[in-house]
Amino acid sequence: MADKEEKKDQSIFEGKSEIEKGDFMHRLKDPSLYSRTNLAEGERSALAGKLFGSYGGYIDKGEIEAARKELKLGKWGKFKDFSEDEKEKAERLLKGILG
């Protein structure tokens, strides 16, 4: 009976449950993230600042999922002031972050 291969964590978290916010922002500069999001480094950093600027020193996967849910709330969510273009880009960024 063959052992199941563990699926490698393709997210920005690299298998960790949380990462330090500075490290998170640094990892957004990774060129491979462009292929997953089709967003330039500056756009990724600016959006992440808007999405997670009020969070503490660490970011975890739960906060990423919470941001996705808030984006889907539209005009009633935390990100109600985002334009439709910003919401679409933010969703791509969040999807890319989670791998």
For residue 45, the model assigns a pLDDT of: 92
Q: What is the mean pLDDT of residues 35-59?
A: 88
Residue 38 banded pLDDT, cuts 50, 70, 90: very high
Asked whether residue 4 carries a pLDDT value surpassing 50, the answer given is no
**pTM for the structure as a whole:** 0.82
Spell out the residues 6+ positions from residue 26 whose beta carbon is closer than 8 angstroms to its own. Answer: none
- For 56-95, write each residue's pLDDT tens digit: 789 998 999 999 999 988 888 888 899 999 999 999 999 9
Residue 55 banded pLDDT, cuts 50, 70, 90: low
User: Is beta strand 58-60 parallel, antiparallel or unpaired with respect to 18-20?
Assistant: antiparallel
Do residues 63 and 70 lie in contact, with contact meaning Cβ atoms separated by under 8 Å? no
Cα–Cα distance list, 11 to 24, 34, 56, 63 (Å): 11, 13, 20, 14
Long-range contacts from 66-73, C-beta under 8 angstroms, 24+ separation: 67/94, 68/94
